[in-house]
Structure 1
Amino acid sequence: MTWHPANITEGCFTNYFISSCQPSFLTFLTFLSQYLGHSRDDKLRSARALDNEYDFIIVGAGSAGCVVANRLTEIKNWKILLLEAGDEQPVVTEIPGLLGVLPDSTIASSYDYLRKGEVCKLSPYQCIITRGKVMGGSSSINAMIYNRGMKRDYDDWEKQGNPGWNWDNVLRYFKKSENLKSKIPAGDATNHGIGGYLSVELREPEKYAESIHNAWKETGLKEVDYNSGENLGTARIQFTLKDGIRQSTNDAFIRPIRGVRSNLTVRTKIQVTKVIIHPKSKRAIGVEYVEPGTKLTKKVFANKEVILSAGTYESPKLLMLSGIGPVDHLNEAGIKVVKNLPVGKNYQDHIGLSPYEFVVNDFQNFNDADKYVEDVKNFMQNKEGSYKMSGGILDNTAYLQTEYETRPGIPDIEMFGLNKVDIVNGVEGNATCAALAYRGYYIMYTTLTRPDSSGWLILNITDPTFSNPIINPNFFSNEKDLKTLVAGMKLWKRVIETESFKKSGLTAVKTPAPACEKFATDDDKYFHCVAKNYVQAFYHPVGTCKMGPSADPEAVVDSRLRVHGIKGLRVIDASIMPAVIRGNTNAPTIMIGEKASDLIKEDWKSSISL
């Protein structure tokens, strides 16, 4: 493979992380493509035709699909096929500080939100969300944050009719994957795993993050291990890194077994277009797919199950293309209805924005391609230098309560910092484009941990198979979300007033947002205006194939992740979450893959030969 930014042939590219390009940075991008654009797995590609049938077909080699492929191939007499629409994982993904060049590149897909109402009006970046289209899925392009969410999140899942999904049950699956390599401040070792496939590390402390961490503690927040099940407080961020290098689920779960376990077949650049369902038995018996550069449909069959792990956008799309979904919408799309289910409903994501930027007082700007190249080589050889920093993310986070959350110990706001382009203040229009590690200011984000608003996803009926689905996130459809976000943005003032912050070498700047200049920047009307005009999603979409009992009007799969009313078909990815958890979604999706693998083994135990 050859990785490159999507628009490099046009002279530059821009995205949510990176703004306008100058010639020196274009030179740097060209270097990255030539030096780091290959994959360590290129030699493992196979031109051999697929067999006619396998025991299990897994569609999607992302955060969950790679886990499931690993665990099912532990059963030696099971033959597993793992299909990925994207390409092999390139070396460029390994460097944490190069996160910014990944979203708008050949290993990602971009999805536009439906621009409706008062959101998505002012910046092209607000309502475009990218997902990994590559081995490892979004775990190959994300910010590498390992965050499980809260105990209450999973206990609530079980209370909604999903037995076996409470915290005590899922904790063992988090621990099963994990290989914690750092001592967690305020942490209890019994909450973490040692010896699993997935490496988790703390990063070397960064001085500005330490200052903000201390500032939060000065305000009265306690230090916590946010992966303990309770996260109200401030914490060092835990990352999916191995000796400072990104560890995607492809790195962790597939590379150790690929070419070693003969019962695993991996194929990349294969787009599955439909699940084949027997019309009489209502059983999934295989999939239809197309290969690169063609629209010629081929078929491959599953003796036991088809497993959709294509993610919150593509798994519901595939179900609907296969005749499983809302009957009225399928009729409109001209698709024969196999099963009427609420596929695509219950769409949720974390949302937020930044009211402040913290400027580094003694920052020296760089605009030197030779410096960028030198630092990349230094990282690759010594794991040192500017590119250790994960996409510019400060390694501190804080979970807080506003007046709109009165239950003890439950945060409704998360605060974190990111060294990046400022969406609200339009800095992307005039900033020097440089690697994130060289930017001289931090954007301080306020996000909702658990929005009450939810949206939906449907097929684009003009080209349902090869077009992206239509997504309406429905931000602020519940007014409480807006009130909570406004209250949360004002909490940053607590940090700015501390002695720790005053000594940090940072200065807080709140330039009036262009669309809200008529309001004073400390007025509630200003914060309301900013929230409505500049809110953005945070790349944690869930819920479109909701897990729940058949009596639940929004449920698509049961507690064993089997599609209601269809035999031999499961969905195993973030789309099954009944609600977004109070944390990032990569770790929970990996957990879902671990638990689902055990459920499959239980259901097929009579056919297991170890």
Structure 2
Amino acid sequence: MASTKEQSADATSTLLNVLNRSGGVRGRFIFAVAISTAGSLLASRLSEDDNTTVLVLEAGQLHDKDPLIDKPNKYLGQLFQPSYDWGFKTVSLINLSGSETGKGLGGSSNINFMQWTRPTKVDIDAWQRLGNPGWTWDNLLSYFKKSENKKEHDRLTRVLVYLPSIILYFGGNNFGTVTPIYSIDPKTRTRASSYTSFLRPHLSRPNLTILTGATVTRLITRENAHPKDESLTAEAVEFICEGQTHRIDISREVILCAGTLKSPQILELSGIGNPEILSKAGIEVKLPLIGVGENLQDHTFIYGVCFEIKDDVAQKIPYEIKQPDHLAYFHSSSLAWVPFQTFTNKTGEETISQLLPQLTPESKKSSAQKTNITTDDTLKCSIKEQYIVLSDILSNPNLPDCEFLTSCRFGGFPNGPKPGKSYLTFSVGGMYPWSRGSVHTKSKDPLEHLEIDPNYLEKDIDLELLLQGVKFLRNFQNNPIFKDIINEEINPGPTVNTDEDLRDATGTLSMLPREKGGVVDPALKVWGTNNVRVVDLSIVPLTVSVHTQSTAYVIAEVAADIIRGKISRWY
């Protein structure tokens, strides 16, 4: 039996031969452009229908049975290696640069931390609140369950989630401390990516063709012939493979699954986006959509409040926990979601009065004035509505907005580990970012680097949450319980004692009403087009308060049912 790599090579050769002979391919095709975390699942689901032919165009390569991906303890080893990671660079930022995004079948599920967390009910219901009928926790819960698998016999058809004994955060109300869950196969001790879980078991389907090494350059569109219909129809996909430019005609629809940073680029190269940005890049405007590439949101973390553990305590730590190849190494961690008010001793009213007046678009230091996102009134209105939702969350003492993660390993900077010592490291993350960034193409050249401005920590509240979280963690050494465990603080270290001393991107093609700067409608179709959809985390209008892998899968599951006509009541 041919290996998956040989199968992929055969598919590539066959497809390119057809293209070279005929100049194009026609048929009942659905095109999935690039395979992000969501895309592998989507391609698998759509190809379940024998009457639908799915063609996948992926710029990256097939990383099958690659130890750098499969071994959980290698999860940082792929970063900024061109075969695995796009290696995107952001615009110049103070102390920050770069954004890791997985490249290849499976997308970022090949290189992420594998943590599996469902969003809260408040997270998902906010999507409907912002103008997307049907996108609610109650409607999506069954889709979260669909992509999870707790049974060994079914492990090849769904993502295998290893479940520790404590499962407390699947009910839509993430609060308190739990043992994290990871998408790791407990039998093989390997990463369960979207490719290995959903796509690899079905590569032999005759109606599923995957072409790797194919960089999509643009969608070729035409205007509708009816004078009253100003919508666009994508009639072909243009891509580069093996140094040659190819075109494939579209008979049904095309789905962008290239992720939060790449999907906006493809639309802009196709003439769909903000006219000012397109004109600056020398691209003809086919469809004005000012929200393309805007509303970029990302979680920010501080990793490395690190304490040295006392020797007598360290001797009691099980051997397996210290070994990265053991699952216990991962599941020795603990995860906590905590409301900001809990560790700052501030009431909701105090928090709002101190931090929110400077954040609303109507204030003297409005969002549009403080950032370079846009001055367009449409986007300002959209941001204002998001801030209202975030204000409700921040003022509710029962809704966590910070995440704390604990691990039995060394971390942080500037100091290094001491030989023979054991460590306990804490991290803090702000799970509802207020800062908004953007991503745009700079020219017609699809291979030129994107202009990515994440705008991290531009809003004071994002930095305040992290600083207060770090102070809270550093104070553990004064806690009577921890005094019996901790020897001393290693990082950031006792010399760091003032505020002055001291990422899961979503949203760039937001699912919002068009009049509010939205790019896709509740059916995930690009506003103003007839047959172009987006299925990845770029459609999330307001980011979720957890790690985003499960959310990407849910978007794909819902999209598959929308495309197959199984959902129509929502919109």
- 2:553 aligned to 583, 590, 602, which one? 590
In the other structure, the counterpart of 1:574 is 537
Instruction: Return the alpha-carbon distance in structure 2 between the equivalents of residues 340 and 512 of structure 1.
Output: 51
Q: Label 1:426 to 1:268 Cα distance change in 2 as closer, same or farther (>3 A).
A: farther
Give the drift of 1:324.
0.5
- 1:560 aligned to 506, 523, 533, which one? 523
In the other structure, the counterpart of 2:172 is 229
Report the 3-state secondary structure (helix = DSSP H, G, I; strand = E; otherwise coil) of the residue aligned with 2:465: helix
Q: Label 1:420 to 1:350 Cα distance change in 2 as closer, same or farther (>3 A).
A: farther
Q: Label 1:309 to 1:431 Cα distance change in 2 as closer, same or farther (>3 A).
A: farther
Instruction: Return the alpha-carbon distance in structure 2 between the equivalents of residues 76 and 98 of structure 1.
Output: 38
Instruction: Return the alpha-carbon distance in structure 1 between the equivalents of residues 151 and 563 of structure 2.
Output: 30
Aligned residues of 1:273 and 1:465 also touching (Cα < 8 A): yes
Give the drift of 1:355.
5.8
In the other structure, the counterpart of 1:467 is 448
Give the drift of 1:101.
1.3
In the other structure, the counterpart of 1:100 is 76
Q: Does 1:318 align with 2:266?
A: yes
Q: Label 1:586 to 1:424 Cα distance change in 2 as closer, same or farther (>3 A).
A: same
Give the drift of 1:100.
2.4
Give the drift of 1:507.
4.5
Give the drift of 1:492.
1.4
Q: Does 1:200 align with 2:174?
A: no
Q: Label 1:134 to 1:442 Cα distance change in 2 as closer, same or farther (>3 A).
A: farther
Instruction: Return the alpha-carbon distance in structure 1 between the equivalents of residues 410 and 155 of structure 2.
Output: 37
Q: Does 1:49 align with 2:15?
A: yes
Give the drift of 1:508.
3.4
In the other structure, the counterpart of 1:290 is 240
Aligned residues of 1:542 and 1:574 also touching (Cα < 8 A): yes
Instruction: Return the alpha-carbon distance in structure 1 between the equivalents of residues 237 and 567 of structure 2.
Output: 21
Report the 3-state secondary structure (helix = DSSP H, G, I; strand = E; otherwise coil) of the residue aligned with 1:144: coil
In the other structure, the counterpart of 1:158 is 128
Write out aligned runs for 1:57-456 (5 A): 57-90=31-64, 91-92=66-67, 93-105=69-81, 106-116=83-93, 119-120=94-95, 126-180=96-150, 197-202=158-163, 225-243=168-186, 244-259=189-204, 261-280=205-224, 282-292=232-242, 294=243, 296-341=244-289, 342-354=291-303, 356-362=305-311, 386-389=324-327, 395-403=333-341, 404=351, 405-417=394-406, 422=411, 424-425=413-414, 427=416, 440-456=422-438
In the other structure, the counterpart of 1:185 is none
Q: Label 1:471 to 1:414 Cα distance change in 2 as closer, same or farther (>3 A).
A: same
Report the 3-state secondary structure (helix = DSSP H, G, I; strand = E; otherwise coil) of the residue aligned with 2:276: helix
In the other structure, the counterpart of 2:465 is 484
Q: Does 1:549 align with 2:513?
A: yes
Residue identity (%): 29
Kindly provide the amino acid, as one letter, of the partner of residue 79 in structure 2.
P
Report the 3-state secondary structure (helix = DSSP H, G, I; strand = E; otherwise coil) of the residue aligned with 1:527: coil
Instruction: Return the alpha-carbon distance in structure 1 between the equivalents of residues 442 and 126 of structure 2.
Output: 33
Give the drift of 1:49.
2.1
Aligned residues of 1:178 and 1:196 also touching (Cα < 8 A): no
Once the two structures are overlaid, the 10-residue window that deviates more, 404-413 or 543-552, is 404-413
Give the drift of 1:406.
2.8
Aligned residues of 2:304 and 2:412 also touching (Cα < 8 A): no
Write out aligned runs for 1:505-520 (5 A): 507-512=488-493
Return the TM-score normalized by structure 1. Answer: 0.74
Instruction: Return the alpha-carbon distance in structure 2 between the equivalents of residues 489 and 505 of structure 1.
Output: 17
Instruction: Return the alpha-carbon distance in structure 1 between the equivalents of residues 404 and 87 of structure 2.
Output: 26
Report the 3-state secondary structure (helix = DSSP H, G, I; strand = E; otherwise coil) of the residue aligned with 1:273: strand
In the other structure, the counterpart of 1:24 is none
Instruction: Return the alpha-carbon distance in structure 2 between the equivalents of residues 195 and 152 of structure 1.
Output: 32
Give the drift of 1:506.
6.6
Give the drift of 1:419.
6.7
Aligned residues of 2:412 and 2:491 also touching (Cα < 8 A): no
Once the two structures are overlaid, the 10-residue window that deviates more, 493-502 or 128-137, is 493-502
Aligned residues of 2:156 and 2:198 also touching (Cα < 8 A): no
Q: Label 1:506 to 1:601 Cα distance change in 2 as closer, same or farther (>3 A).
A: farther
Instruction: Return the alpha-carbon distance in structure 2 between the equivalents of residues 390 and 98 of structure 1.
Output: 15
Kindly provide the amino acid, as one letter, of the partner of residue 439 in structure 2.
L
Q: Label 1:301 to 1:439 Cα distance change in 2 as closer, same or farther (>3 A).
A: farther
Aligned residues of 2:160 and 2:183 also touching (Cα < 8 A): yes
Give the drift of 1:43.
2.6
Aligned residues of 1:198 and 1:252 also touching (Cα < 8 A): yes
Aligned residues of 2:36 and 2:106 also touching (Cα < 8 A): yes
Kindly provide the amino acid, as one letter, of the partner of residue 87 in structure 2.
S
Q: Label 1:426 to 1:348 Cα distance change in 2 as closer, same or farther (>3 A).
A: farther
Q: Label 1:361 to 1:486 Cα distance change in 2 as closer, same or farther (>3 A).
A: same
Give the drift of 1:134.
1.4
Instruction: Return the alpha-carbon distance in structure 2 between the equivalents of residues 200 and 247 of structure 1.
Output: 8
Return the TM-score normalized by structure 2. Answer: 0.79
Which string of whole-angstrom CA distances, capped at 9 and with x for unpartnered residues, describes residues 83-140 of structure 1?
2111112421111112121213221111112114xx22xxxxx421211101111101
Give the drift of 1:350.
0.2
- 1:527 aligned to 499, 504, 516, which one? 499
Aligned residues of 1:179 and 1:195 also touching (Cα < 8 A): no
Kindly provide the amino acid, as one letter, of the partner of residue 308 in structure 2.
V
Report the 3-state secondary structure (helix = DSSP H, G, I; strand = E; otherwise coil) of the residue aligned with 1:290: strand
Give the drift of 1:528.
4.8
Aligned residues of 1:354 and 1:489 also touching (Cα < 8 A): no
Aligned residues of 1:358 and 1:441 also touching (Cα < 8 A): yes
Give the drift of 1:576.
0.3
Count, aligned residues: 488
Q: Does 1:458 align with 2:424?
A: no
Kindly provide the amino acid, as one letter, of the partner of residue 284 in structure 1.
A
Once the two structures are overlaid, the 10-residue window that deviates more, 97-106 or 283-292, is 97-106
